[in-house]
Structure 1
Amino acid sequence: MAKDFYGELQLGILGGGQLGRMLIQEAINYNVNVHVLDPDKNAPCRKLCNRFECGSLSDFDTVYNFGKELDMITIEIEKVNVDALEKLEDEGVLVYPQSRVIRLIQDKGMQKQFFKQNDIPTAPFQLISSKENLYESTIALPYIQKLRRDGYDGKGVKRINGVHDIEEAFTQPSLVEELVDFEKEIAVIVARNDRGDVSTFPLVEMEFNPEANLVEFLISPSILPFEIQTQAEDIARKIAGDLQIVGLLAVEMFLTKEGQILVNELAPRPHNSGHQTIEGNITSQFAQHLRAIFNLPLGSTAARSTAVMINLLGEAKYEGLAKYDGVEEVLAVDGVFVHLYGKKYTKPFRKMGHVCIINDDRETAVKNARWVQETLKVKA
């Protein structure tokens, strides 16, 4: 930024969850004044920011009034009122990522069309306006149906195996895409500042909880062939350039059994696939996001060591005041870092925290992480 903003900048974050919480922890290093808007009065950010406002992220007046006295706004969730952000941009408030980028990514159909128009590899798809259209789909069964809007953390996705499943399909506007027989789910986080500087974090490999369809185990850096790593990073750089985004962008991809990379979805913000960067990389994803939106030089993304990230999800049969079993045991092991998100109540598969396990030896890191996974549980 042109002005000397250290200690002066008024930064707004739309969303007060764990991503906002970790962003604030990094913003403190810049003496930035942070304002947060979230609909939950008990949001994890509520006690860490300079000003917390409880209100709707989708209401035009609430978002506009929250942001009109601020210098800059960023997001930790895509489901926000983009019309209000456009008006704020018109009035001189910096919005990063830009409102047009958020608008595109809010709609998975528009995302897929963007991929097609810009020659970005992705699974074949078809846009669907109603459930009845599914009977005439040109995509062969079985396929995946995704809601165009408001799907997140595994929600808004259905596998349609046959005609008999269509009766239970989503009725809202959606898309269907070819079922990808993938070898592995991978991701690259890329950052771009307003100068046009672009930097990628090393490729990561992910495992998902089959019941909740959430990432629960991630390892960085990848040991896939160099050609795969380079291709994935090049795709992420191209997307950031085509979007002209300012900020952080998570690019989730499939690696097929034939060695092809297909882009699945985008997230224009810090992301679950980058939590391991806090301990595992020279610059964390949260520091990089701030560097990008403040138009500062981007930091080194080099890995310090092997890092494994585990999501702490609420146990399946527990709901109520959160209780963490096994914290002392896991903290007794070298290279184990526990991050709790300040959520008072747990419920099945709710993201309550994460653990990063680092070790110079990859096998040891993975072994320790599997042990942590079995030992640390979120109950009630």
Structure 2
Amino acid sequence: MTLAFSALVAAGSVALNLPHPGIIVVLVGYFGLLFLTSYLRNSAWGLVSVFALTGFMGYTIGPIINMYLGLANGPSLVTAAMATTGVVFLGLSAYARSSKAPDMMRFSTFLFVGILVAFCMGLAAVFFQMPMLSVAVSGLFVLLMSGLIMWQTQDIIRGGETNYIMATVTLFVAIYNLFTSLLMGLRLGIYGAGQLGAYLCQAARTLGMTTTVVTPAADSPANEHADHVIVAPLDDLAASEALISRVDLITFELEDIASPVLDRLAEANAQGDVEVFPKVEHLRLLQNKCLQKRWFVEHQLPTAKFIDCPAEANISTLAAEFGLPFVQKTHRGGYDGRGVQVIREVDGADCLWPTATIIEEFIAPRRELAVLVARNTAGEESVFPVVEMDFNEQGHILSHVLSPASLPVEISSEAQQIALQFIRQLSGVGLFAVEMFLRNDKELLINEVAPRVHNSGHLTIEAHQTSQYEQHLRAIAGLPLGSTKQMEPSAMVNILYDNAIEAACARGHGVIAAGNNTNVHWYGKKGTHLLRKMGHITSTAQSIEEAQQNVDEALAALAS
């Protein structure tokens, strides 16, 4: 009866798409109600407490089930876990009553010490982000809960447990943990294993997901945070097959994925073998600057004037149409200053690249902004505050991010609405970074959109209730989106390699507190070259000016 009640509450939690309360609330609620039930076990109130406990646990399992149901093969995974739990419970209960079953009373101490150790290991895996330990704990709990079912069945049969309330609670806890151990760990695949992939792996761990990354390098930053690593070129179809066979859901930390790989992912998605977000057709669109710009124009989204550069074009004819300076961008592969050049003179040293490019007007005067926007599989949307970006002039690589951007309210609101309009018209799923120009402090123009988590969103880890990484995973897993509320103004600066910080880069690892609510994040990259992103520094403060001063001082200290 209590199991049916718990199932009913879980069904309601699924139907209402209720958010997961978080591990702290789960632990407090579970142990509080468990101790209360034990205290009241000999009174009528104990029955009320049992229903409160089983109902609460049913509520907590609902969001986990919802996460799976949002996947193409999710219903089959949930059904398989339920069926396996039922078969194991009925089979072990029957076996425990047979004469051939071992005397589980002899293993009482082993079982309860084992459960305590496994519980502590599980907490360590969550709080210290130890992926492989979490997988091991799930397997250990399957064995321990199986043993607990046999132990409690024999104890009831032999008259050792005469209190039906405690017998019910023990069997319910065993069934619940058996089911969650079989179900827990949505398997996430990530193409790319740089710093963005590393933060996705860390966020996945907090949501109970296991991760597999595909990377061409054995020492990529995300490798130490992932449960499994496939070392292979990103265009390797064999690696794609291996990833598809391992995971339930695939996402990307970079958009420049080869067309044959996207073809295979689209096929696997259509067959229900794996879910892929952002959608393959959206990745194809947004990985190509020309297609992306045309889409903006077709959907009446504001963007700078551009043309697809003709093969016969020369600087003189382009200067006549766009004026000087103007911008040349490669169709694909451009990021961190690569694939972009500014043509400033007709007869100077500048020359056009002989490859597929677009020509775009140079926007000046301007400020550069970004808006992170997310949409989940159910169509729920959220948008982060507008941030302002400042770029390193030498390599046109992002240097500073300030949040929220110091803008008139109406400009900030318009920027957020443009980002929301984009994701709605695209019907995108996941988190997208919409980069914009603000011309003459009044006209907003979309520069480009990244279909993934973004460098401008690093500061959401400390400054927001939900980081961009967790929000992206919530969106693609079909979970309710988290709050984008910003707790305090914040600033971020990228740690771009130069010889002055060589020693700091060599010894830097993990996250180091620098005082004044300032953290230095090191990515653990082995090789170095000028302006390579080796880490970033984030600070939260009472004002943007104070936060920026904090990150600048922390950056300067690296050279000392």
TM-score, normalised by the number of residues in structure 1: 0.93
Q: Corresponding residue for 2:270?
A: 90
1:16 is paired with a residue of what secondary structure?
coil
Match of 1:120 among 301, 312, 315: 301
Match of 2:358 among 148, 170, 175: 175
Greater CA drift, 53-62 or 4-13: 4-13
1:65 CA displacement: 3.6
What is the alpha-carbon distance in structure 2 between the residues aligned to residue 30 and residue 186 of structure 1? 30
Alpha-carbon offset, residue 135 of structure 1: 4.8
Higher mean displacement: 201-210 or 134-143: 134-143
Q: CA contact under 8 A between 1:9 and 1:33: conserved in structure 2?
A: yes
The AA in structure 2 aligned to 1:216 is: S
Worse-matched range after superposition: 316-325 or 343-352: 316-325
Unaligned regions of 5+ residues in structure 1, if any? none
Superposed, 1:260-279 pairs within 5 Å as: 260-279=443-462
Deviation digits for residues 222-242 of structure 1 (CA, Å, limit 9, x no counterpart): 221000000000000011111
Secondary structure of the residue aligned to 1:154 is coil
Taking a change above 3 Å as real, the CA distance of residues 265 and 316 of structure 1, as seen in their structure-2 partners, is: farther
CA contact (8 A) 1:68 1:88 kept: no
Q: How many residues align?
A: 377
- Give the deviation of 1:342 after TM superposition: 1.4
Flag the 1:181–1:291 CA change in 2: closer, same or farther, 3 A. Answer: same
Match of 1:366 among 548, 551, 558: 548
Could you tell me how far 1:341 is from its partner in structure 2? 0.7
Equivalent residue letter for 2:358 = L
**Structure 1 residues 113, 312: CA separation in 2 closer, same or farther (over 3 Å shift)?**
same
8 Å Cα contact 1:106-1:150 kept in structure 2: yes
Whole-Å separation in 2 of the counterparts to 1:75 and 1:131: 36
Q: C-alpha distance in 1, partners of 2:395/2:304?
A: 22
Letter of the structure 2 residue corresponding to residue 265 of structure 1: E
The equivalent of 1:292 in structure 2 is 475
Q: Is the 8 A contact 2:371 2:415 kept in 1?
A: yes
Q: Name 1:44's counterpart in structure 2.
A: 221
Corresponding residue for residue 11 of structure 1:
188
The equivalent of 1:109 in structure 2 is 290
Conserved 8 A contact 2:491-2:548 = yes
**Distance of 1:117 and 1:73 partners within structure 2:** 29
CA contact (8 A) 1:146 1:156 kept: yes
Cα distance between partner residues in 2 of 1:108 and 1:134: 20
Check the 8 A contact 2:230/2:239 in 1, yes or no: no
- Displacement of 1:321: 10
Give the equivalent residue in structure 1 for 2:495. 312
How far apart in 1 are the matches of 2:192 and 2:354?
Answer: 28
Cα contact 2:375–2:431 (8 A) shared by 1: yes
Residues 175/91 of structure 1: CA separation in 2 closer, same or farther (3 Å cut): same
Query: Equivalents in 2 of 1:258, 1:205: separation in Å?
Result: 13
Aligned to 2:557: 375
Pair 331,72 (structure 1): closer, same or farther in 2 beyond 3 Å = closer
CA distance in structure 2 between the aligned counterparts of 1:331 and 1:321, rounded to whole angstroms = 14
Match of 1:341 among 508, 523, 541: 523
Measure the CA separation in 1 of the matches of 2:317 and 2:267.
40
Query: Is 1:232 aligned to residue 415 of structure 2?
Result: yes
The residue type equivalent to 1:130 in the other structure is: A
* Farther-moved stretch of structure 1 (159-168 vs 109-118): 159-168
Write the distance in 2 (CA, Å) between the matches of 1:167 and 1:314: 27
Cα 1:85–1:225 shift into 2, 3 Å: same
- Identify the structure with bigger relative contact order (alpha carbons < 8 Å, sequence gap 6+): 1
Which has the larger displacement, 314-323 or 244-253?
Answer: 314-323
2:324 corresponds to which of 122, 141, 145 = 141
Within-5 A mapping of 1:191-206? 191-206=374-389
Identity %: 38
| Worse-matched range after superposition: 283-292 or 123-132 | 123-132
Tell me which residue corresponds to 1:281. 464
Residue identity matched to 1:257: N
Pick the structure with more strand per residue: 1
Q: Verify the 8 A CA contact 1:182 1:257 in the aligned structure 2.
A: yes
Q: The residue matched to 1:288 in structure 2 has which SS?
A: helix
**Aligned CA-pair RMSD:** 2.4
1:40 positional shift: 1.0
Distance 2:236 2:265 in 1: 11
Q: Per-residue deviation at 1:369?
A: 2.2
The list of structure 1 runs, each at least 4 consecutive aligned residues, that deviate by more than 4 angstroms after superposition, is 3-6, 316-321
Candidates 55, 60, 81, aligned match of 2:232: 55
How far residue 125 of structure 1 moved from its aligned partner, in angstroms, is 0.2
Compute the displacement of 1:50 (Å). 1.3
Residue deviations 1:70-107, cap 9 Å, x none?
21100001111322221222222100001011101110
Change (3 A) 1:282 1:175: same
**In structure 1, how many angstroms separate the alpha carbons of the residues matched to 2:527 and 2:271?**
39
**In 2, Cα distance between the equivalents of 1:52 and 1:152?**
24
Matches of 1:56 and 1:366 in 2, distance apart? 38
Q: Secondary structure at the match of 2:250?
A: strand
Q: Is the 8 A contact 1:308 1:358 kept in 2?
A: yes
Question: 1:161, CA displacement in angstroms?
Answer: 1.4
Unmatched segments (≥5 aa) in structure 2 = 1-66, 79-179
2: CA distance between counterparts of 1:271 and 1:118?
24
Query: Greater Rg, structure 1 or structure 2?
Result: 2
Measured after TM superposition, the shift of residue 130 of structure 1 is: 2.7
Aligned equivalents of 1:65 and 1:125: distance in 2? 41
* Structure richer in helix, relative to its length: 2
Deviations 1:117-169 (A, max 9, x none): 01111110010143645554333332000001111111010111132358622
Q: Given that residues 491 and 544 in structure 2 are in contact (C-alpha distance below 8 angstroms), is that contact kept between their aligned partners in structure 1?
A: no
For residues 17-32 of structure 1, the aligned pairs below 5 Å read 17-32=194-209
Tell me what 1:157 maps to.
Answer: 340
